[in-house]
Amino acid sequence: MVTLPIAPGFRLDGRRALVTGAGRGIGVACAAALAGQGAHVGLAARNKDKLAEIDSAIKVSGGSAEAIPLDVTNRAAVEDALARRPAFDILVNNAGTNRPRPFVEVTEDDYDLTFGLNVKAAFHVAQCFAKRLLAESRAGSIVNMSSQMGHVGGAGRSVYCASKHALEGLTKVMAIELGAHGIRVNTICPTFIETPLTEPFFRDATFRESVLSKIKLGRLGTVEDVMGAVIYLASDASVLVTGTALRVDGGWTAE
């Protein structure tokens, strides 16, 4: 008689997940996805009122969550927030920003803001998270929210592309160093996602058509498109996956 293998599950019951940038867009979707699979979700962002609304919505839907008002660019605040709570098993390093501008018009403030959040803050949050797991000899999963622009270039996005390429390199090194401790590190790389923040850009018909011409599936992404990816990388379904970039890009980077 053949004994069939049993597929690893996607459930996250009993696990704790921290999502940064959880106050809007992709961050809300990631939090909802993880809570929907049974994880207790820490919602980290600066907007207290928005966090309270999301926290309430998750609980109404049957999930478990807590609002954690936090500026992730403040390392001391990050350390304190993690120290005052039981260890998290999953980190979705999602907080990020972009200031599209032609390369020759990029200001020092544009550069510092983008790298400060997309790279420096992501580095420090992941480091604080990993140190706690190492101290308690716990396995875990870190998901760094990157972008298709971490693998290609894009006009008007010099600093953003540079920051996401940096995050891809950081992810590989983290995967190498933390793998022996059972801590997996991967990225999710979405294409252009329809959110309130990106909606103004798509009012420009020329820009919209340019974007759609590169997405092989012929449509913009939605926050729901990212939810399955984050569940996969957070769960035992991806237990042998680390140092990998999961491109949710509709085929943009296929050529």
Count CA within 13 A, CB hemisphere, residue 69: 7
Average pLDDT over residues 205-211: 95
Count CA within 13 A, CB hemisphere, residue 243: 11
Tell me whether residue 164 is one of the annotated catalytic residues. Answer: yes
Tell me whether residue 111 is one of the annotated catalytic residues. Answer: no
Q: Domain residue spans in the chain?
A: 16-194+224-248
Residue 64 token pair = 């478990």
Q: What is the pLDDT of residue 87?
A: 97
Region 16-194+224-248: CATH code: 3.40.50.720
Q: What is the pLDDT of residue 195?
A: 87
Least confident of 133-142, 191-200, 232-241: 191-200
Question: Residues of the chain with pLDDT > 70: what percent?
Answer: 100
Average pLDDT over residues 167-180: 98
Q: Is residue 24 a contact partner of residue 97, using CB atoms and an 8 Å limit? A: no
In this structure, the dihedral spanned by the alpha carbons of residues 27, 96, 185 and 23, taken in order and rounded to 10 degrees, is -20
Place of tokens 């540079």: 162
Question: Given 59, 111, 120, 164, which residue is catalytic?
Answer: 164
Distance CA 194, CA 196 (A): 7
Question: Given 120, 160, 172, 214, which residue is catalytic?
Answer: 160
Model pLDDT for residues 87-122, shown as the tens digit of each residue:
999 999 999 999 999 999 999 999 999 999 999 999
DSSP the chain: ------PPP---TT-EEEEESTTSHHHHHHHHHHHHTT-EEEEEES-HHHHHHHHHHHHHTT-EEEEEE--TT-HHHHHHHHHTSPPPSEEEE-------B-GGG--HHHHHHHHIIIIIIHHHHHHHHHHHHHHTT--EEEEEE--GGGTS--TTBHHHHHHHHHHHHHHHHHHHHHGGGTEEEEEEEE--B--TTTTTGGGSHHHHHHHHHH-TTSS-B-HHHHHHHHHHHHSGGGTT--S-EEEESTTGGG-
Q: Is residue 186 a contact partner of residue 244, using CB atoms and an 8 Å limit? A: yes
